[in-house]
Structure 1
């Protein structure tokens, strides 16, 4: 069995954490195909020192997938050992051992900027994004977001409308739509740009998926722009992960009496670069 096929089976199995997925990859990346063939669920559980509860979940799940596996299942699977897997993500905190995708993988080799913000953005945020996104697109930056309500959707739509490239990293499987009103946009991105997920196609939204998705955006991009953020919001999590990965963090300053500007203003106080115009991003990422 090839390593990327083995990693597909691991990703599809239950009872194993993201940290254990990465640990297992590190343990077996030099294994031969015959050695990988010889690993059964119990041996993997032993390698990872899984708890009895995790082992009871993992072994039947892995064994079932192993018995049903056909190579065609990995046609749209990009494993961490694949040459096309982006190097910045491979070197980031807790990289996914593989990603399911639809669309143009060549976009992963472009300069990428993550854009995150509120699901209920203010008119101020909408106006600023309408001003700077077309200018970022003109500089050939690929804009990456999570296809959630609010700023994510605005980012994808403005990028497409201005002839740019966009990547959506979603918190469900590729065959699921969340939120449902973004179905047509998700299909369009998958056909004309790039859609990424680390979940099997039939997996729906779960609360922990969204911070997991955020770490991918933070690891994938050369920089992250936070348009608005409350205290302790998911956008701040993404910004902090970007900082951990030594990425540039940009923030749009806002009114001091706006709850949605508390997070961005505090990011700026902590050292994030304030964005008053698109050149403040372009000069950092492209020159």
Structure 2
């Protein structure tokens, strides 16, 4: 129980990034002690840490304060049996996942990520509408980032085909970003699953999105990339999936308009080019 509160403290702690927080956890695990003072862990802080914010937060986040802050929030920590095993395999996974909806979806073996452009074209939407329903009909849960474009289209299509879907967001679950996806977001809170490594009240920050992407890659068995430009967050998700030995599928597109340059680069780099559903299924376990 002492370690669980330590994990939650690290999850809520401000003034330090994930690398420093993991350094602190590894230090605590080595010594099997979880009641360090801020001064005792000071040597572990990186130069990028905001030491003033860190010290204040470290001293402020007592177990009593954590209980108050977490009141009304649903969460699983790294040590929980409900924490997804696949996510533990990534480098420096989240200390805790905050969630709304059906947490048991994270226990599904067959989870496939769908990511891509926020400015999805009619072609991109048609790809999602063609490939997501037969995947959900075969028991695959669709994971994505609840952004505009390919993400929200993937979530919506999964629900319209009576399938299951998981949304991963880069802010507190009491904030819907972007506002354009509110209807989908609200439906998923009630009947699907939305997760975040950030507690209530955490605003949107630019650096939260690559952090979110590592979770999408982490919980997924494979990742499909639809209409990604040359410099796209979707490529980060794809690379993270490749780094953990997972399959990455990319859909080809027009070489002239730039919308699919990232997908075409992925194909050149070894991602599987998808032109039919069989191209995906034959690379996954239990192909029928």
- Please indicate the TM-score interval, normalised by the length of the shorter structure: over 0.9
Q: Answer with 209-218 or 150-159: which moved more.
A: 209-218
Partners of 2:40 and 2:204 lie apart in 1 by 31
Structure 1: tracts of 5 or more residues without a match: none
User: Shift in Å at residue 99 of structure 1?
Assistant: 1.1
Task: Give the alignment of 1:193-232 within 5 angstroms.
Answer: 193-232=192-231
In structure 2, the residue matched to 1:19 is 19
After TM superposition, the structure 1 = structure 2 runs for residues 158-169 of structure 1, keeping only pairs within 5 Å, are: 158-169=157-168
Q: 1:219-254 CA deviation, whole Å, 9 max, x = no partner?
A: 111111001111111111111111111111000011
- C-alpha deviations, 1:170-218, integer Å up to 9, x for none? 0111000101122232122122111111112111211111111111111
The 3 A distance-change label for structure 1 pair 84 and 30 is: farther
Q: Decide whether the 8 Å contact of 2:188 with 2:194 is kept in 1.
A: yes
Number of residue equivalences:
283
Partner of 1:6: 6
Question: Any gaps of 5 or more consecutive residues in structure 2?
Answer: none
SS in 2 for 1:199: coil
**Cα offset for 1:51?**
4.1
The 8 Å contact of residues 111 and 222 in structure 2, kept in 1 or not, is answered as yes
Q: Equivalent residue for 1:68?
A: 65
Aligned to 1:86: 84
Shift, 1:96, TM fit: 1.1
- TM-score w.r.t. length of structure 1: 0.92
Deviations 1:69-100 (A, max 9, x none): 32782751211122221121111123111111
In structure 2, do the counterparts of structure 1 residues 112 and 53 end up closer, same or farther at CA, with 3 Å as the change threshold?
closer
Distance 1:156 1:149 in 2: 11
Question: With structure 2 as the length reference, what TM-score do the two structures score?
Answer: 0.92
- For 1:85 and 1:52, locate their aligned partners in 2 and report how far apart those are by CA, in whole Å: 29
**1:121 is paired with a residue of what secondary structure?**
coil
Task: Please say if residues 20 and 45 of structure 2, whose CA atoms lie closer than 8 Å, have aligned partners that are also in contact.
Answer: no
Asked if structure 2 preserves the Cα contact closer than 8 Å seen for 1:116 and 1:152, the reply is yes
For 1:94-124, what per-residue CA distance to the aligned partner results, in whole angstroms no more than 9, with x for missing partners?
Answer: 3111111111121112111111000011111
The answer to whether the Cα contact below 8 Å between 1:25 and 1:97 also exists between their aligned partners in 2 is no
Q: Is the 8 A contact 1:100 1:196 kept in 2?
A: yes
* Cα distance in 2 between the residues matched to 1:208 and 1:236: 15
1: distance between equivalents of 2:48 and 2:18? 18
Q: Is the 8 A contact 1:139 1:282 kept in 2?
A: no
Aligned to 2:169: 170
Question: In 2, Cα distance between the equivalents of 1:229 and 1:69?
Answer: 40
Show the 5 A alignment for 1:171-190: 171-190=170-189
After TM superposition, the structure 1 = structure 2 runs for residues 34-113 of structure 1, keeping only pairs within 5 Å, are 35-36=33-34, 38-46=35-43, 48-51=44-47, 54-66=50-62, 68-70=65-67, 73=70, 76-110=74-108, 111-113=110-112
**Whole-Å Cα distance in 1 between the matches of residues 217 and 94 of structure 2?**
12
Aligned equivalents of 2:139, 2:31: Cα separation in 1? 40
Structure 1 residues 227 and 193 mapped into 2: Cα distance closer, same or farther (>3 Å)?
same
